[in-house]
């Protein structure tokens, strides 16, 4: 069981929180589009954030990121300030685009945004295609629960991919600019 000090927000909680809260908030957004009930949406959003944070605490306690300081584990559980900033900006832009579609974008920029979306969203695209292929192989559409799990898994994988990309981009820019020793 995690100690009380491990419950306070830490840098190591960001990745597991984002990967668990993103699919939950995805479904809240879909529910809001269907139901349109504001109080229900707020309640589900708060519950999603609370569940995501609780799961992040449990994951960090199980993984013990202090023992894993190499490669991808370092990027995921000990991200730099720059990585967190890039991830936050990209996440806000993706969330804004998912909710509003940014109707004010000119056509050329919108096309570029779609290409960027393919780069960032390939995990959920692959998951969706796999769901369709499996459904067709068994003669129809898979049950709703399988589709929901596939979408949740795809959103979680996409969130993880965006987090990794944020770390890799900031590390590459840091190396190119000569500031390799950025404290984490």
Kindly state the average pLDDT of the residues 100-126. 83
* Contact of 152 with 26, CB cutoff 8 Å: yes
The structure's pTM equals 0.82
Check residue 5 and give its pLDDT: 67
Which tens digit of pLDDT belongs to each residue from 50-94? Answer: 999 999 999 888 887 666 567 788 888 888 899 999 999 998 888
> Phi/psi of residue 159, each to 5°?
-60, -45
């Amino acid at each position: 069981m995690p100690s009380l000090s491990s419950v306070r927000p830490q840098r190591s909680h960001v990745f597991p929180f984002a990967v668990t809260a993103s699919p939950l908030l995805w479904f809240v957004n879909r529910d809001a589009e269907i139901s349109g009930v504001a109080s229900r949406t707020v309640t589900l959003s708060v519950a999603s954030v609370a569940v995501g944070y609780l799961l992040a605490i449990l994951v960090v306690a199980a993984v013990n990121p202090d023992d894993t300081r190499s490669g991808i584990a370092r990027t995921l559980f000990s991200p730099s300030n720059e990585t967190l900033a890039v991830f936050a900006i990209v996440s806000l832009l993706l969330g804004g685009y998912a909710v509003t579609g940014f109707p004010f974008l000119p056509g050329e920029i919108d096309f570029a945004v779609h290409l960027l979306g393919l780069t960032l969203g390939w995990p959920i695209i692959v998951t969706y295609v796999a769901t369709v292929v499996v459904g067709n192989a068994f003669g129809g559409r898979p049950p709703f629960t399988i589709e929901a799990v596939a979408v949740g898994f795809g959103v979680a994988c996409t969130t993880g991919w965006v987090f990794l990309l944020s770390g890799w981009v900031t590390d590459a820019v840091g190396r190119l600019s000569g500031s390799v020793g950025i404290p984490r």
